[in-house]
Amino acid sequence: MEACRRTGRSKSEIKEEMKETKTELLERVKQIIRGLKKQHPEAKCALNHANPLQLLIATILSAQCTDERVNIVTSTLFRKYRRCEDYLGVPQTELEKDINSVTFFRNKAKAIQGACQILVERHGGQVPQTLDDLIELPGVGRKTANVVMGTAFGIPTGIVVDTHVIRLSQRLGLTRNKLPEKIEPDLIKIIPKKEWIDFSHRLILHGRRVCKARRPACEICVLEKFCPSSTLIECSQDLPVQ
């Protein structure tokens, strides 16, 4: 209720007030970044990995699949397959059996072997450190490439936009777009490049712990006062202005 007393205005009035200039938006983004750092200082990639190849494989497996499921699969997968040549040394059907609890496992097995073949032929079995080279690999789109570049190599080539980032960036009023390929450019314009990697990690964690899809916990959210979608604003309609 404290946030309701703080606003003293209806949700529609708050949204009207939050029509921002570019300068105001950038200042609010600074506060959002500061809040995320405070609440999630330990945020990191949720996919377990020990090297760039493992991260690449895990990220390919994570498409339309939970990170928790991928981590279960890779806990045994990475003990069996340690190099690109290991993935290429078995029939596709065997690799399929090893990953059959993830979604679209047949397509992903084919993509993994295709990616490993290119890595061996063109990159000496090593994961390349350029976005363009990564995107050429089967099963690798811009999101996967950004994950590998940022997490494995510490190179900010873009902002990873997953379902949590889509939801939160819309709720926070950082974009009006719904498609990842349009949301990423919107975020890149307002998020400092040095924050790109950690911003997505923290926003994803915030989406899992606080700003959940069905019921966001606005009452404990450090971003609540910077968020035009806060559910706490609604209760201000019946309260007098302080």
Which DSSP symbol is given to 160? Answer: -
| Dist CA 145 CA 168 (whole Å) | 22
**What is the C-alpha to C-alpha distance for residues 41 and 45, in angstroms, rounded to an integer?**
13
Q: Which of 123, 126, 112, 120 is nearest to 70 (CA)?
A: 112
- From 30, 162, 186, 225, active-site residue: 162
Residue with tokens 């314009």: 189
Catalytic: 143? yes
Residues in the chain: 242
CA dist., res. 200 & res. 43, Å (int): 9
% helix / strand / coil in the chain, to the nearest 5? 60, 0, 40
Query: Contact, 76 vs 48, CB < 8 A?
Result: no
Distance between first and last Cα of the chain: 13
Kindly name the residue from 11, 67, 108, 143 that is annotated as catalytic.
Answer: 143
Q: Catalogue the active-site residues.
A: 143, 162
